[in-house]
Structure 1
Amino acid sequence: MSPDDWHLTEDVDDFLARAGDFLRSRTVPNMMQLTWAERVRLRGAASFGAQAPVFGRLERAGDILGTFFRLPNRGVGLGPLTPEQADTLAAHLSALGHSLPSVSADDATAAAFAESWQRHTGATPTVRTRLRLNRLGTLTPPDPFPAGRGRVVGERDREQLIRWCAGFAADVGEAVSIDADSWAGTRFADKRYTFWETPDGTPVSMAGLNPMVAGLSQVDPVYTPAPLRGHGYAAAVTVETSRAARADGATDVVLFTDATNATSNALYQRIGYVPVAEWTAYEFTYAAPV
């Protein structure tokens, strides 16, 4: 297999025209490509700054075998690839002069690409985070269910919403600035949010829902401020958000969890989420020029 089989483009419409059927036939493993392609399509590439997002497809004899995306100043997100396919991509990107800060994908793909990238560039890969991708099976509300109700977040909640998204980003180690000025350019801006409120109307937890793409909805983020944890609020707001996704017609509802957090993984499994894949992100460190 030749690196020339990889085709890169900054034209998201062209990428979707050529690889869209492939992605939609495998929505769960390719959810990140679908999500970011749709986000770029709706926002416009210019909204990401002077450097446009890049999308790529692996094509041979008219068949699509794999895909990836890269956002400005960020690493690559990969769909499932064999070690050989990951190596041809690493060779291709290296030959084009790309300097990648990171890679994220399912465990096997990410490990294969990280190894190949080190071989082609000398960069040292280090695991940044390990996630677990979960898919909703039979939705099972917690028992007992905490008192209160879910409420769709509105404009009057904007300040609290931004503050809680910033809290979530800090908790999971995302290097991103989230405030009123930067909000529109973050990945958090184009989601639909639900607050869980106590009976007196006090918000105590939140969950976001990405726009549905190809019948798939991703619950992200789920956040409860530290002093309010341990009361079942995260489970309650996730149930409300998952119900809303299914009511919208989603055939697949998914969410990521920290693979190392046994408490949160057990919580989501109790309400009906089933693990389907392990996910890893590697950071790359480059030797200083001599």
Structure 2
Amino acid sequence: MKLQRFENASEFYDRVKDYLLSQEAMHNLLLGIANTLIHHPERYKSQPYLAIVEIDRDIVAVAMRTPPYDLVLSQSENLDAVKAIAQDLYLVSESISAVNGPTVESEAFAQAWCSLTGKSYQLKMAMRAFQLEQVHHISQAPGYLRLATDSDQELLLRWFEAFCLEAVGKVESDPQAWINHHLQQQAVYLWQDEVTVSMASRGQLTPHGVRINLVYTPPEYRGKGYASACLARLSQKLLDQGHKYCFLFTDLANPTTNHIYQLIGYRPVGDWHNYCFIS
């Protein structure tokens, strides 16, 4: 068993692409991060941790971390490989606050990391990865999908912060930078009725698909089908642009959204856990 680190994102991607594409939906987060590292490296301020574990030149595990964000793990049938990643991170004195990955792999890493550091871990969020290839027809809420513009900045900032607080209990370190980037990329969409009532964002790209994130409706507009309409229309728009798949992650603590997404045509492909570490 051999662990190899990479300094160059393109070289790393060339090596891991086939392995990650064997389960594109489950690996959409890693593929998307790799794509961003190659095409928009300015979005990350620190040197990333990019590593693979091999047995006889065959990859058995992949790990990525773009500080200050969580470590992200691939699927792996060899949990010793996951433990090797924990040992390597410990040796290079990486400070890890959380790990994100498929359920078995992320817990194996959490156990290994805590045995090395003396910390404890707890489940922060249980998630499910979904994939869509065709949008199902659903009854349409009133309104239409529109692209967000600079004039929406104040609303986007307010909704972005509300989404973060509701989803993970804290706000991203620089929400304005996120908004500026996504407006520049024409990636944020809003559902417009008599007023603006819901939003969703086109996220990172994979070779054959795109992830949708930040699906949010303020409490006063919920229960009217706006989020479903916004997500369904955006998903169809992205498929029409040539993407074969749309991906998204859901919080398993919210059964309503998990049900709605499946009505639209998203099918579950696997579960992910996010563990945080406590001193």
| TM, length-normalised to structure 1 | 0.88
2:233 and 2:188 mapped to 1: Cα distance? Answer: 11
SS of 2:138's equivalent in the other structure is coil
Aligned to 1:7: 4
1:266 and 1:274 mapped to 2: Cα distance? Answer: 10
**Does the Cα contact within 8 Å between 2:148 and 2:183 map onto a contact in 1?**
no
**Match for residue 71 of structure 1 among 66, 69, 78:** 66
**Match for residue 61 of structure 1 among 41, 48, 56:** 56
SS of 2:269's equivalent in the other structure is strand
Shift of 1:249: 1.6
Shift of 1:179: 4.3
**Match for residue 248 of structure 1 among 231, 241, 250:** 241
| Structure 1 stretches lacking a partner, 5+ long | none
1:167 aligns with 2:162: yes
**Match for residue 267 of structure 1 among 247, 260, 263:** 260
Aligned to 2:213: 220
Q: Which amino acid aligns with 1:139?
A: V
**Match for residue 121 of structure 1 among 117, 132, 136:** 117
SS of 1:55's equivalent in the other structure is strand
Shift of 1:97: 2.0
Aligned to 2:199: 206
CA RMSD in angstroms comes to 2.1
**Does the Cα contact within 8 Å between 1:150 and 1:196 map onto a contact in 2?**
yes
Residues 255 and 245 of structure 1: CA distance in aligned 2, closer, same or farther (over 3 Å)? same
Aligned to 1:194: 189
SS of 1:210's equivalent in the other structure is strand
| TM, length-normalised to structure 2 | 0.91
Percent identity, please. 26
Aligned to 2:26: 29
**Does the Cα contact within 8 Å between 2:110 and 2:275 map onto a contact in 1?**
yes
Query: What is the number of residues matched between the two proteins?
Result: 277
1:158 aligns with 2:164: no
2:196 and 2:7 mapped to 1: Cα distance? Answer: 41
Q: Which runs of 4+ in 1 moved over 3 A?
A: 177-180, 182-191
| Structure 2 stretches lacking a partner, 5+ long | none
Of stretches 162-171 and 107-116 in structure 1, the one that deviates more from structure 2 is 162-171
